[in-house]
Amino acid sequence: MKKQTYFAYGLCFILALGVCSALAADRRPTYSSEMKMAREAVRKAFSEIGLQKGDDNLLVLTNAGYGQIGPQTSEPFLDIARETTGCSIGTRSLLAVHKSINDPLWCSIFRKDTSKLIFLRWTGQGFAQQVVDASPERILTPEGWKTAAAGLISQNLFSVVSISLTWAAGPPWPLLQAATFHDHFCPGVNAGYVIGEYCRDKMALGPGEQYVFVTAPAICPADALQVIFNTTAGKSSGYAMYLAPKLLAKYEKDKVQPVTIAMRVNRKADLCEGIVFGFDWNKAYADTHVKADEITPQGGPGNPMFWIARVKMSRELARLPRERLLGYIVELKRFTGNARLADEIASGDPYALLWNR
Ligand SMILES: [Zn+2]
């Protein structure tokens, strides 16, 4: 083959590549009729919110990518929301909230300057919307909370309000990510994040080392640690288990109970170093002006104060400087052992109970 022919083939190849990448850049999805309804719904809500695309005051939350529109998955809505509102993941203004595949698609648009919030959700035939006054002085009162919760937003009120109001306080990205995975902001997520920061400071990983976390009782900090360090149950690095309050109290020191065990494990060197962490909630209550009995009010989750106190405290914790937060961490115990110790700490035979019944 002559040199010119090679050149011609080469040129064609480069042109074809160029056309392909141009097509890729312009790739347009074909939306189902339901997804077009979702686009109309978010356009309508956005026009009512009264801000320009991409305004700094905007936050869009959605369960798109997790929830569905009937049998359809909802990931196209992430693009629709971005195009309609100008909000994006990279500017922390479009956040996907982890929810079940069984949940209908929803979206909220919040503007932090006026605290106006518009929530829309798939109802089975179409999209309905609710306007919520999410100003702290209104929504963080039993009356305001009950009124909002009686509407379309219903069970999603805690997710949407806790994330929107805490987002407005400017939390660091890993904490925001933990909250979206956990599906809400609550003080336990903040505590998990702070424990993670403490580990990075005081028990940083070297080559060949990994973290293993065992959280007991199995509550909120477990989710934060899992997301921040990718320490998942499926990779034998994140465990959470139930522990009766009576048992937990046995390990209490100066009114601080254990929250989680963090271990730095080097399988090759056969080493495990760990810390049993407690979190000084009393200090955190004092700094955030939230009282312990507001967190556990009479009536439990049936009492709006249960949710309101969590939002208030999470938001206040997100505002505090890192050094202050690290001051809540209590090392209840330090230990070392073989790498196998991490597996032993995380083990127990859950089947034994059932087989020996
Ligand atoms: Zn929680």
* pTM for the predicted model, two decimal places: 0.91
Q: In whole angstroms, what is the distance from residue 169 CA to residue 313 CA?
A: 12
Contact assessment for residue 84 and residue 43, using Cβ atoms and an 8 Å cutoff: yes
Q: List per-block mean pLDDT (blocks of 10 residues) for the chain, which spans 357 residues.
A: 57 54 67 98 98 97 98 97 98 98 98 98 97 98 98 98 98 98 98 98 98 96 98 96 92 96 97 97 97 95 97 98 98 97 89 86
| Ligand 1 centroid from CA 251, angstroms | 23
| Ligand 1 centroid from CA 159, angstroms | 10
What's residue 308's pLDDT? 98
What's residue 1's pLDDT? 47
Instruction: State whether residue 272 is helix, strand or coil.
Output: strand
Which DSSP category does 253 fall into?
Answer: B
Where is 53: in which H helix or E strand? none
One-letter amino acid of 107 = C
Q: In whole angstroms, what is the distance from residue 162 CA to residue 313 CA?
A: 10
| Ligand 1 centroid from CA 301, angstroms | 12
| Ligand 1 centroid from CA 29, angstroms | 36
| Ligand 1 centroid from CA 187, angstroms | 7
What's residue 5's pLDDT? 59
| Ligand 1 centroid from CA 219, angstroms | 7
| Ligand 1 centroid from CA 198, angstroms | 20
The residue among 115, 118, 113 whose CA lies nearest residue 43 is: 118
| Ligand 1 centroid from CA 202, angstroms | 25
Q: Taking the CA atoms of the chain, what radius of gyration do you get in angstroms?
A: 24
| Ligand 1 centroid from CA 354, angstroms | 29
Q: In whole angstroms, what is the distance from residue 69 CA to residue 220 CA?
A: 28
Sheet of 329-337: strand order equals: 238-240, 210-215, 258-266, 271-279, 329-337
Contact assessment for residue 195 and residue 225, using Cβ atoms and an 8 Å cutoff: yes
Q: In whole angstroms, what is the distance from residue 106 CA to residue 61 CA?
A: 8
What's residue 176's pLDDT? 98
